[in-house]
């Protein structure tokens, strides 16, 4: 059932994005719409670079769009929300930009509200440097 619905939803999203781009370019101007597209792509690429590629392989993001959320991609890790949101910013269109901003905002809101060591409440996160006494600075 999900394999039938996902391509239809993708087509509907593409159709809505195309209509919104045409209508908005007629209303506010083609140059403004193109500037928004370029800026959102730049922001998405910058955020994706910020997040790094250590969370998972970039091919998993493509698998989300091709095979749906059942392709081994889970939104449990906050870094994956940031990567997914930045990928949505890279895709041109207003709806995908709004969805991308929602995922990115969720990442930054969760990051500020939950401690880094939330997995183990009895652990303490400590950073330290090891220096050699004989080392000259």
**Is-contact 72 60, C-beta < 8 A?**
yes
- Give a yes or no: residue 25 inside a domain: yes
How many structural domains does the chain have? 1
How many CB atoms neighbour CB 93 within 10 A?
20
How many CB atoms neighbour CB 51 within 10 A?
20
pLDDT tens-place string over residues 9-27: 888 988 999 999 999 999 9
pLDDT tens-place string over residues 57-114: 555 556 655 655 555 555 566 777 888 888 899 988 899 999 999 998 988 887 655 5
3-class SS of residue 93: coil
Residue whose C-alpha is closest to residue 83's, from 62, 67, 66? 62
- Give a yes or no: residue 73 inside a domain: yes
- Give a yes or no: residue 125 inside a domain: no
Distances 91 to 45, 71, 112 between C-alpha atoms, Å = 11, 20, 27
Containing domain of residue 91, as a range? 2-113
CA angle 108, 112, 116 (to 5 degrees): 105
- Give a yes or no: residue 60 inside a domain: yes
- pTM for this predicted structure: 0.64
**Is-contact 111 78, C-beta < 8 A?**
yes
- Give a yes or no: residue 131 inside a domain: no
Distances 113 to 83, 93, 109, 118, 137 between C-alpha atoms, Å = 19, 30, 6, 10, 38
Structure tokens at 123: 């652990």
- Give a yes or no: residue 79 inside a domain: yes
């Amino acid at each position: 059932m999900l394999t039938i619905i996902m391509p239809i939803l993708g087509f509907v999203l593409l159709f809505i994005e195309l209509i919104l781009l045409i209508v908005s370019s007629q209303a506010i101007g083609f140059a403004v719409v193109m500037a928004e597209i370029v800026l959102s792509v730049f922001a998405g690429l910058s955020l994706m670079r910020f997040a790094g590629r250590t969370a998972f392989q970039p091919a998993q993001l493509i698998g989300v769009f091709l095979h749906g959320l059942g392709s081994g991609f889970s939104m449990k890790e906050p870094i994956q929300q940031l990567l997914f949101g930045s990928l949505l910013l890279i895709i041109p269109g207003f709806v995908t930009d709004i969805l991308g901003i929602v995922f990115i905002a969720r990442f930054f809101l969760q990051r500020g509200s939950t401690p880094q060591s939330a997995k183990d409440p009895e652990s303490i996160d400590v950073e330290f440097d090891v220096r050699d006494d004989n080392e000259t600075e």
